[in-house]
Copies of this chain bind each other. A is one copy, B any other.
Amino acid sequence: MVRLNIGLIGLGRLGRVYARDLGTRIPETRLVAVADVDARLAEEVAREFDVPRFSADPQSVLDDPDVEAVVIVSPTHTHAALTRAAAERGKAVFCEKPPSLSLAETYSMKQAVERAGIFFQMGLMRRFDAGYAAAWRQVQEGVIGTPVLFKSTSRDPHRTSLEYANPKSSGGMLVDMGIHDFDLARWFMGDVASVHTIAGTLAYPELKTVGDIDNAVVSLRFADGRLGAIDLSRNGIYGYDIATELLGTEGTLRIGYLRETPLLVMKKNQVSHDTVPFFMERFAGAYTAQLQDFARNVLQGRPAPVTIDDGLEALRIALAAQRSHETGQPVEVASVSA
């Protein structure tokens, strides 16, 4: 089997999962170089997955002539520069969401990608989850008639670190967490015309110190008048909960699940089960499928199913939602520009 030589940049929580997938689970890839600012971590990961080269400097991955494609999972503020550098070197790029924290930066990525004519795939993994993928097919097949309402809920099982929650680092909850739901909204329903947000710091007052919120409700009006409702929360105390619904004129689809272990515990007057711990467990399959799809697309010369434009537009909705939160008014998505 022909394999794609991958250089992986960023070895945080998700980066290590990507290293495992690229190094051991995806037959179409060969992980040939890893980089992380934490040199010890880079060495450790390289040893664990038999990766020939590791470095504390992403530049060495980008300059590695053996690297055909770069997978970028480093902190968001580094995405744009790394993408531009990879584009200059003609490497194929997979970039984890969000593309960046500003439209201007994202436009610069788009420009670099288009100028260099490189292959670029945006990481928005929910599209590769078995539930979302099956729902999307059923919508296309007309199973539920015309969808008229898109509903989506994303809840983390606990507060993120204050460092990460800082909007300067992650973009804040509406960008960092919401971008998945905004992307799903576009994927299932098309362009979003306007949004309205209400939000607050209601469960974890300490988040106010870094300027983030922990709960939000966003209404979406699609360009054709259809409706959307998204709620986001950091206090899904019971477990990681990602659920989406498409209400159509002839039926409804509900995506998501809560139970992790196939075990019901039944005690006096009570039936209970456990829940999904976090995104690694819920979307383990989707992360792997997404990177495998990336490799196959590059190897077979197929277009990316998730593009820089998808990242750009999902970010635009998130920024519009943020502006609505700040102003208290509905915001036209098109009015948000770089």
A residues near B (Cβ < 8 Å) are 1, 24-25, 27, 47-49, 129-131, 134-135, 138, 143-146, 148-149, 151, 155, 157, 196, 198-200, 202-203, 214-217, 219-221, 225-229, 231, 233, 235-239, 247-275, 277, 328-330
Contact partner of A196 among B155, B219, B225, CB < 8 A?
Answer: B219
Residues of B within 8 A of A252 (CB): 236-238, 265-266
Q: A261-B134, A262-B130 given as contacts; is B198 within 8 A of A148 (CB)?
A: no
A132: min CB distance to chain B, Å: 8
User: In the complex the two chains form, is B24's CB within 8 Å of A261's CB?
Assistant: no
Complex CA distance for A49 and B248, rounded to whole angstroms = 42
Copies per complex of this chain? 4
A48: min CB distance to chain B, Å: 7
A180: min CB distance to chain B, Å: 15
Q: A198-B196, A199-B227, A259-B257 given as contacts; is B135 within 8 A of A237 (CB)?
A: no
A225: min CB distance to chain B, Å: 5
User: In the complex the two chains form, is A274's CB within 8 Å of B266's CB?
Assistant: no
Residues of B within 8 A of A257 (CB): 259, 262
A276: min CB distance to chain B, Å: 9
Complex CA distance for A255 and B261, rounded to whole angstroms = 9
Residues of B within 8 A of A248 (CB): 235, 237
User: In the complex the two chains form, is B270's CB within 8 Å of A262's CB?
Assistant: no
Of all A-B residue pairs in the complex, the 3 with the closest CB atoms, nearest first, are: A272-B272, A131-B262, A238-B266
User: In the complex the two chains form, is A228's CB within 8 Å of B237's CB?
Assistant: no
Q: A249-B235, A252-B238 given as contacts; is B264 within 8 A of A271 (CB)?
A: no
